[in-house]
C-alpha cells in the first residue's frame, strides 16, 4: 500500500467538470448543473451562490451568521503570495533548467523539469489577479480558471479551522433531504475578505478593503478537465477508480489534517512529558470579532492562536460548534477530552529530524512532544514494515531552513515513541531517493506514506498541480514497471486538505474537528481498473481503516476515528450514511477477486457495514 499526499485542492476544484464512464455517476459542479461542460455558469448556478454576512461584537463567533445578503459580483481574486518572477535564488519558479534539474531531478522525469521554469504571475503580490478572465465582475459563485492558469502559480484561499467552519455555514435549519447536515458552503468569499488567513491578534486595518487579506474570492476558482486541465489525474480516474465522497477530516489546514493520516485523531498541547497542559494565552484561538469589525477575529493567525479547549463550551468559538453538533438528528460526539487544548491548525512538530526536542524558546509556535499513538505504533507492534518517505528528509535533518521537506505533514514527527527511538527513526523515516531504491530492489515495505516536497506538492502558491501530477506519474510508472510489485500494490492518491477551495459535496459532521470539504482520492491498482466512482463516505481515517482491515489490526486507540463503522447506504442518496457518523475503509474502490482467485465468493458478513467476512488480511497485499 502506497499513500501519496499532495496539497490543498478540493474535489470540485480538480474534478468539477469531470464526466464519468457510462454506467457511473459523479457529484460535481457539472452534474449538479452549477456549471456547464465548458465551465460557464449552468442552469443551477444559484445552488452555489455566495453570500456576505454581518457579524459584529458583541454577537460573538457564529458558524451560521445571520443577516446574509447575496453578492452581486464577487470580490476580485488576488495574487496573494504567488511568485512574481522566476529566480534561481528564491524559487519557485526557477530561472534556469540546470538549477531546476539539480533541485528536482530525482522526483521528476527529465521531460517534466521545465514545468518548474514557468507560471510566475508577472504581478505584485497581494493585488487583484488580472490573469483571471473578468476578474472585476465575476458572478456570485464558482468561476473558471481558464487556460493557461493551470500552468501558473496562484494565490491561495484561507484554510484555517474556525474560518472553514464559518465558510461551511452549517445549521440544522438549513437541512434538506439531500443535505441533512445543513452545511451550505455559501460564505467562502465573505470569510476570505473579512478575516482570511488570520488577524495575528492585531486590530483590523483602517480603512478595511477587499485587499486587506490578500485573498479576495480565490476560493471560488476551479479548473476544467474538458479544457485539458488535470490531464494525468483525469487519465487515472478513467482507467482506475475514484471516490467522489472522500473528505478532509478536519476543518482547516495541513497540520491538523496530516496528523489525522497517522493518528485518526487530533494532537493536544502537553507539558512535554505527555501530560495535557494549558498553552500560552496568545496561542489559544478566539474567533469572536473585535469590536467595531465585521468578523475580524480577536486572536488567530499563523503566529497567533492555534489551540482550543473544545471540552468547555464557554471557551471562545467552542459553543457554536458544540451546539450545532448537539442539534443534529444523530449523535456525533465532540471527542474533546476534559481540559485538553487541541491543535487546530499548523504548528511545528515537537521534534527535530534527529530526534532532539525543538527549542520552543526559539520557535514558540511548536506543539510539544505528543504521546498520542499512531498507526505507526500499531504496525511496529505487529512487526509490519512501513516507512514515511518525505522528499528532503536528509537535508531537513541537517538544516531545516534549506529543505523542501514538509515537517508539519509528517504525523510521526510529532510523536515521542517514534522520534526518541533512533532505530525506529532510521528504519521508518526516509527520503525520496530511498523510495526509488526500495522500489528498484523490490524491497518496498507493506505500508508506504509518500510526501513530495514544497515545490512539487501542488500547493497553489508555491507549486502547481501539474507538478504534483508529474511527481505521481513517475512513482506510478516505477511501480508498474515491476510486474511482481504491481501485482500486489495499491496506490492511493489524495491531498492533505482542500486548501480552502469551494466544493459542492455533502459534509458529514463527525466530531468537533470536522469533517471538511471533499478532496480527491484515486485508487491505482490492477484491482481498481475500470473507471468506477465510489460514493461511500470516507476521510483520512479511512486510510487507517484500510491498513487495519487488510492486515487484521485493532483500532489505534479507544477514541480514534478508526473505531467508527463503515457507512450504510440506503435509499436515493448514496452520499449520506444512514448510520452516521460513519467512515468507510476504501475497500469498495477495489475488486480484490480480479485475477487473484475468489477469496470470499462475494459473500457479505451480514452486519450491513460493507465488510466481507471481517476482512482479516487475506487479500493479496
Which whole number is the average pLDDT over 363-382?
96
pLDDT band at residue 393 under the 50/70/90 scheme: very high
Which whole number is the average pLDDT over 294-306?
80
pLDDT at 59: 78
pLDDT band at residue 617 under the 50/70/90 scheme: very low
SS3 498: coil
Please give the Cα distance from 321 to 315 (Å, whole number).
11
Closest CA to 169 of 263, 70, 96: 70
Answer with the residue of higher pLDDT: 593 or 95.
Answer: 95
pLDDT digits (tens, 9 = 90+) for 429-470: 999 999 999 999 999 999 999 999 999 999 999 999 999 999
pLDDT digits (tens, 9 = 90+) for 280-295: 999 999 999 988 888 8
pLDDT at 198: 67
3-state helix/strand/coil string of 22-55: CCCCCCCCCCCCCECCCCCECCCHHHHCCEECCC
- The span from the first CA to the last CA of the chain, in angstroms, equals 8
Closest CA to 540 of 156, 247, 220: 247
pLDDT at 305: 78
Please give the Cα distance from 586 to 371 (Å, whole number).
28
For the chain, what percent of residues have pLDDT higher than 70?
92
pLDDT digits (tens, 9 = 90+) for 248-275: 999 989 999 999 999 999 999 999 999 9
Q: What are the C-alpha distances in Å from 96 to residues 87, 100, 312, 453?
A: 8, 7, 54, 19
Contact 418, 374 (CB under 8 A): yes
- Domains of the chain and CATH, by start: 2-84+121-589 (3.40.720.10)
Which whole number is the average pLDDT over 472-489?
97
Contact 41, 137 (CB under 8 A): no
Residue owning grid cell 473579512: 194
Rounded mean pLDDT of the chain? 92
- Mark out the alpha helices in 132-243 (DSSP H runs): 161-168, 188-194, 231-239
pLDDT digits (tens, 9 = 90+) for 183-215: 999 999 999 999 988 665 555 665 555 556 778
CA-based torsion, 297, 298, 299, 302: positive or negative: positive
Please give the Cα distance from 502 to 256 (Å, whole number).
19
pLDDT digits (tens, 9 = 90+) for 239-249: 999 999 999 99
- At residue 620, does pLDDT exceed 70? no
- At residue 593, does pLDDT exceed 90? no
Please give the Cα distance from 393 to 371 (Å, whole number).
23
pLDDT at 67: 87
pTM of this structure: 0.94
Contact 156, 80 (CB under 8 A): yes
Which whole number is the average pLDDT over 499-523?
97
Q: Going edge to edge, which strands form the sheet with 533-534?
A: 429-430, 386-390, 447-451, 2-6, 491-495, 521-524, 241-243, 533-534
The pair phi, psi for residue 259, each rounded to 5°, is -60, -40
- At residue 608, does pLDDT exceed 80? no
Query: Per DSSP, what are the bridge partners of residue 238?
Result: none
Which whole number is the average pLDDT over 470-474?
98
Amino acid at each position: 500500500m502506497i499513500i501519496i499526499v499532495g496539497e490543498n485542492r478540493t474535489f470540485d476544484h480538480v474534478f468539477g467538470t469531470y464526466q464519468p464512464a457510462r454506467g457511473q455517476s459523479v457529484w460535481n459542479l457539472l452534474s449538479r448543473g452549477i456549471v456547464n461542460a465548458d465551465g460557464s455558469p449552468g442552469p443551477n448556478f444559484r445552488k452555489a451562490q455566495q453570500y456576505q454576512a454581518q457579524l459584529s461584537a458583541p454577537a460573538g463567533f457564529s458558524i451560521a451568521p445571520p443577516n446574509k445578503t447575496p453578492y452581486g459580483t464577487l470580490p476580485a481574486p488576488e495574487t496573494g503570495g504567488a511568485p512574481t518572477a522566476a529566480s534561481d535564488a528564491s524559487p519557485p519558479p526557477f530561472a534556469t533548467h540546470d538549477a531546476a534539474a539539480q533541485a528536482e531531478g530525482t522526483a521528476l522525469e527529465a521531460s517534466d523539469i521545465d514545468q518548474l521554469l514557468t507560471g510566475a504571475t508577472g504581478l505584485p503580490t497581494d493585488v487583484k489577479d488580472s490573469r483571471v478572465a473578468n476578474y472585476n465582475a465575476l458572478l456570485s459563485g464558482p468561476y473558471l480558471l481558464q487556460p493557461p492558469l493551470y500552468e501558473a502559480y496562484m494565490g491561495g484561499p484561507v484554510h484555517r479551522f474556525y474560518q472553514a467552519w464559518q465558510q461551511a455555514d452549517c445549521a440544522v435549519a438549513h437541512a434538506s433531504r439531500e443535505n441533512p447536515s445543513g452545511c451550505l458552503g455559501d460564505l467562502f468569499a465573505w470569510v476570505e475578505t473579512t478575516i482570511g488567513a488570520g488577524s495575528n491578534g492585531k486590530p483590523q486595518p483602517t480603512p478595511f478593503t477587499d485587499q486587506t487579506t490578500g485573498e479576495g474570492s480565490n476560493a471560488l476558482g476551479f479548473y476544467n478537465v474538458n479544457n485539458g486541465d488535470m490531464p494525468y489525474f483525469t487519465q487515472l480516474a478513467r482507467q482506475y477508480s475514484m471516490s467522489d465522497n472522500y473528505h478532509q477530516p478536519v476543518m482547516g489546514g495541513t497540520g491538523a489534517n496530516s496528523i489525522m493520516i497517522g493518528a485518526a485523531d487530533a494532537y493536544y498541547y502537553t507539558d512535554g512529558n505527555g501530560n495535557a497542559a494549558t498553552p500560552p494565552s496568545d496561542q489559544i484561538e478566539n474567533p469572536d470579532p473585535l469590536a467595531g469589525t465585521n468578523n475580524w477575529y480577536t486572536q488567530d493567525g499563523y503566529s497567533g492562536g492555534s489551540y482550543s479547549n473544545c471540552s468547555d463550551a464557554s471557551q471562545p468559538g467552542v459553543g457554536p460548534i458544540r451546539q450545532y453538533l448537539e442539534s443534529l438528528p444523530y449523535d456525533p460526539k465532540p471527542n474533546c477530552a476534559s481540559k485538553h487544548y487541541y491543535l487546530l491548525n499548523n504548528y511545528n512538530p515537537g521534534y527535530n529530524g534527529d530526534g532532539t526536542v525543538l527549542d520552543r524558546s526559539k520557535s514558540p509556535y511548536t506543539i510539544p512532544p505528543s504521546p498520542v499513538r499512531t498507526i505507526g505504533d500499531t504496525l511496529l507492534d505487529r512487526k509490519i514494515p512501513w516507512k514515511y518517505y518525505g522528499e528532503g528528509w536528509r537535508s531537513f535533518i541537517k538544516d531545516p531552513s534549506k529543505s523542501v521537506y514538509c515537517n508539519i505533514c509528517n504525523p510521526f514527527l510529532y510523536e515521542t515513541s517514534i522520534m526518541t527511538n533512533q532505530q525506529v527513526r532510521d528504519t521508518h523515516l526516509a527520503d525520496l531517493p530511498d523510495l526509488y531504491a526500495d522500489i528498484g530492489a523490490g524491497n518496498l515495505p507493506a505500508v508506504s506514506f509518500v510526501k513530495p516536497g514544497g515545490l512539487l506538492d501542488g500547493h497553489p502558491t508555491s507549486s502547481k498541480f501539474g507538478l504534483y501530477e508529474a511527481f505521481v506519474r513517475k512513482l506510478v510508472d516505477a511501480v508498474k514497471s515491476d510486474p511482481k510489485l504491481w501485482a500486489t500494490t495499491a496506490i492511493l492518491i489524495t491531498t492533505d486538505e482542500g486548501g480552502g477551495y469551494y466544493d459542492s459535496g455533502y459534509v458529514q459532521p463527525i466530531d468537533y474537528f470536522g469533517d471538511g470539504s471533499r478532496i480527491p482520492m484515486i485508487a491505482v491498482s490492477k484491482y481498481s481498473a475500470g473507471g468506477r466512482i465510489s460514493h461511500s463516505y470516507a476521510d483520512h481515517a479511512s486510510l487507517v481503516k484500510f491498513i487495519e482491515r487488510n492486515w487484521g489490526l485493532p483500532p489505534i486507540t479507544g477514541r480514534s476515528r478508526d473505531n467508527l463503522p463503515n457507512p450504510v447506504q440506503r435509499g436515493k442518496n448514496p452520499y449520506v450514511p444512514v448510520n452516521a457518523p460513519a467512515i468507510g475503509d476504501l475497500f469498495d474502490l477495489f475488486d480484490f477477486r480480479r485475477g487473484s482467485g475468489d477469496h470470499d465468493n462475494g459473500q457479505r458478513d451480514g452486519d450491513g457495514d460493507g465488510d466481507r467476512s471481517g476482512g482479516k488480511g487475506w487479500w493479496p497485499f
